[in-house]
Amino acid sequence: MKLKVKGIGHGRADGEVIVSALPLSFLGGVDPSQGRVIDSASDIKGKSFAGKILAFPHGKGSTVGSYVMFQLKKSGTAPLAILNHRSEAIVATGAILAGIPMLTGVPIDALKEGDRMVVDADGGVLEMPDVELRPVVTVIATREDKVLILKRSDRVATHRGHWAGVSGAIRPGEEPIGAAEREMKEETGISISGFGVLAGGEPVYARDGDVVWEVHPFLVDIGGEKISIDWEHDEYRWISPSDLGNYETVPRLDRVIESLLRARSAAGKKVC
Amino acid sequence: MYLTREEEKILKGEEGETRRRAMELLVALGDLDSAERLVPISSAQISGASYKTIGDAGLEFLEEFAKDAKICVRSTLNPIGMDREKWREMGIPEKFAAPQEKILDAYGRMGIDLTCTCTPYFIGNRPSTGDDISWAESSAVVFANSVLGAHTNKEGGPSALAAAIIGKTPYSGLHLMENRMPKVAVKVEIKLTSDDFTLLGHAVGKKIGQEIPLITGIDPTEDDHKALGAAMAASGAASMYISRDSHGSCAEFDTIEDRISIDEHALDSSEAALDTADEDADLIAIGCPHLSVREMVDMASFLKDREPVKKCKAWFCVSRDIARRCPEEVRILGRFGQVACDTCMVVAPLEEFSRVTGTDSAKAGVYLPTLCKQKVAFRARRDLLRMISR
């Protein structure tokens, strides 16, 4: 897979990644002489990032962290590159002072420790040769305070028997909203163009073996429209979002639904 | 971000590696802030000077950077961890003093004024209304925006240094007039003494976080402003406030979204939060931010006819420039304690020789427990002076 994100600083790196799901402070959180994480609250405590690509959501803590990144570089214990989801001044400053290639806007959820990757900070490109990216849409239909979930049949290719939203692959050349309308028509029989579909913004990423699902979420209220499912599903249910835990779902469905509902309740919602 | 042809050249490295890296940093930080372009600055104030805060990591960086970096606007430096002349008397260990001197040398090679102070506006680095500047010291940032009317964001040490080298900073945040409007109206319902302004800053900072407050009902002197802004930046994340006395009109501000009021009780609860010691102070530290000439004169005239009580140490923290302008006051204060130049109680390694510090600064009160492992006896300035004299 190849992702176009944003580069900070210069250079390329080719190596294995070490991934933390938590924010990192370089001051106090790492041992500069060893290139190792020592923060006891970190999920990669004790692990070395020297000579590897280091991925974490974003930096935190003291601004002196920028200087620690420089010190890592001088000691030869720096990571080959840094991948962040959200960039802030401390890590960005450190990456530039130290000359460590950095990418921001990287979906950390899509990465797995040991993934091989090529980082290009000048072009803002992340390439993972062993991983396949599959862009899909998930449409969450609502009716009053209920959301629609559907049980995937034995005839679909993936996640058989799991509960999901209306979903499917985005075809080459197709816009995500076009895929959302097509899948809704195919899987529920409902034509939603003109319904006021809410786009969920940033895609949600789910890692599944050597596949990364890039889920483009949409939300649409279908009111009293009649649903008729096709061969892809065995049954459907209207449930409260809080009951989702009782169902075996496709990866990250909870997160997709939660972010969509939050986006809808937020003021200034964007309607396609 | 839009770059001029000249800026592009620097970014490509045509003017050397250090200028390239400084430009790269400004552009990256500007992009994070959605700045459209860079803006020329007339002044810089650089933080990250004490060996205690930046350590060996910062020293290594500065020594390499100083090899060929030169600043091109008036630039001053924050306080360091010791008085350069009297560090032995102050109890600073040799292993601290040596790397501290190296840090200063590195800044000096870049052309930065080594009068180490958090009050650059008292020593000639005093921008005018509307000037774009790049300052990093949080108390000075508030003073510059709120009292001088200059425009600065709260920079980090490296970004202020990069701005000093290039002579520009990203045109974003408080450099833009539309971001300098108050969001919260703060009505002060009591008459304040000079000792109260630091508590007012503490109380307001806690309530407003990083919003810009419009504070009404106060009539501060310049020293009162200094205390107010420093405390506000320490307890919250304020970079600016607007103030009006009780007769001033606020009709021009239509951006207010929230209103709060400050009464006696708010100041009392700030005072209680700051006062964490139940034992006697072993150090009295006054001058956070650094003292003005006026404050030196006031303290000297109170102490002039009194005798020292050597129960505990005392530090009067002041920039070397101001100390030179007040020889008589320095002599008087020197009978009661150290007139400490270049440094202050927050960035010096106090934990090496003190456990309980008495101070009248809410900013010091906020930072002393974490940065210097001190308990704090928070008192009015007169009371502190009485503790060291009779």
- How long is chain A? 272
- Same-domain check for residues B164 and B210: no
- Same-domain check for residues B383 and B332: yes
Q: How high is the pLDDT of residue A270?
A: 42
User: Pick from B118, B149, B176: which residue ends a domain?
Assistant: B176
Decide if pLDDT at B363 tops 80: yes
Angle, helices B157-166/B51-65, rounded to nearest 10 degrees: 30
Percent of chain B with pLDDT over 70: 100
- Same-domain check for residues B37 and B94: yes
CATH number of the domain bearing residue B152: 3.30.499
Instruction: Return the SS3 of B54.
Output: helix
Measured CA to CA in angstroms, residue B47 lies from A60, A88, B115 at distances of 19, 19, 13
- Same-domain check for residues B187 and B251: yes
Min distance B187 CA to chain A CA atoms (Å): 30
User: Pick from B114, B147, B176: which residue ends a domain?
Assistant: B176
Residue of chain B whose alpha carbon sits nearest to that of A102: B28
Give contacts of B156 with chain A, Cβ < 8 Å. Answer: 63, 66, 89-90, 93
User: Pick from B160, B176, B192: which residue ends a domain?
Assistant: B176
**How many contacts (CB atoms, under 8 Å) link A and B?**
61
Q: What is the pLDDT along chain A (272 residues), one digit of tens a residue?
A: 999 999 998 899 999 999 999 999 898 899 988 999 998 889 999 999 999 999 999 998 778 889 999 999 999 999 999 999 998 888 999 999 999 999 999 999 999 999 999 999 999 999 999 999 999 999 999 999 999 999 999 999 889 999 999 999 999 999 999 999 999 999 999 999 888 888 877 889 999 899 999 999 999 999 999 999 999 999 999 999 999 999 999 988 998 999 899 888 874 444 44
Instruction: Closest CB to B55: pick one of A64, A87, A96.
Output: A64
Give contacts of B60 with chain A, Cβ < 8 Å. Answer: 67, 70-71, 74
Instruction: Closest CB to A68: pick one of B25, B57, B159.
Output: B57
- Same-domain check for residues B171 and B98: yes
State how beta strands B184-188 and B258-262 pair: parallel
C-beta atoms of B55 and A67 within 8 A = yes
The answer to whether A1 contacts chain B (CB < 8 Å) is no
Give contacts of A64 with chain B, Cβ < 8 Å. Answer: 48, 53-55, 57-58
Preferred mutation among A5, A6, A31, A64 to probe B, highest tally of B CBs within 10 A: A64
- Same-domain check for residues B75 and B171: yes
Q: What is the pLDDT of residues B53-89, one digit of tens each?
A: 899 989 999 999 999 999 999 999 999 999 999 999 9
- Same-domain check for residues B256 and B310: no
Decide if pLDDT at B280 tops 70: yes
- Same-domain check for residues B288 and B368: yes
Pick the catalytic residue from A33, A42, A48, A62.
A62
Range of the domain at B299: 275-387
Q: How high is the pLDDT of residue B76?
A: 97
Instruction: Return the SS3 of B303.
Output: helix
ipTM of the complex: 0.76
Question: Strand ranges (DSSP E) for chain B?
Answer: 38-40, 43-46, 74-77, 113-116, 134-135, 168-170, 184-188, 213-216, 242-244, 258-262, 283-286, 313-318, 338-341, 356-359, 375-378
Q: Which residues of B touch A (CB under 8 A)?
A: 21, 24-25, 28-29, 31-32, 48, 53-58, 60-61, 64, 156-159
Preferred mutation among B61, B78, B141 to probe A, highest tally of A CBs within 10 A: B61
Residue ranges of domains in chain A, CATH in brackets: 2-127 (3.50.30.10), 132-265 (3.90.79.10)
C-beta atoms of B55 and A32 within 8 A = no
Residue B89 to residue B341: CA distance in whole angstroms: 13
Residue B344 to residue B230: CA distance in whole angstroms: 14
Q: Residue A218 contacts by C-beta under 8 Å, 6 or more apart in sequence?
A: A137, A138, A139, A140, A176, A177, A180, A197, A198, A199, A200, A260
- Same-domain check for residues B149 and B166: yes
Q: How many domains does chain B have?
A: 3
Residue of chain B whose alpha carbon sits nearest to that of A99: B21
The candidate with the shortest Cα–Cα distance to A140, out of A151, A130, A150, is: A150
Host H or E run for residue A173: none
Host H or E run for residue A35: none
Q: What is the pLDDT of residues B89-145, one digit of tens each?
A: 988 999 999 999 999 999 999 999 999 999 999 999 999 999 999 999 999 999 999
C-beta atoms of A96 and B57 within 8 A = no
Q: How high is the pLDDT of residue B173?
A: 95
pTM of the model: 0.84
Q: How high is the pLDDT of residue B387?
A: 95
CATH number of the domain bearing residue B290: 3.30.499.10
- Same-domain check for residues B13 and B155: yes
Give contacts of B58 with chain A, Cβ < 8 Å. Answer: 64, 67
- Same-domain check for residues B12 and B156: yes
Q: How high is the pLDDT of residue A272?
A: 44
- Same-domain check for residues B228 and B331: no
Q: Tell me if residue A62 is catalytic.
A: yes
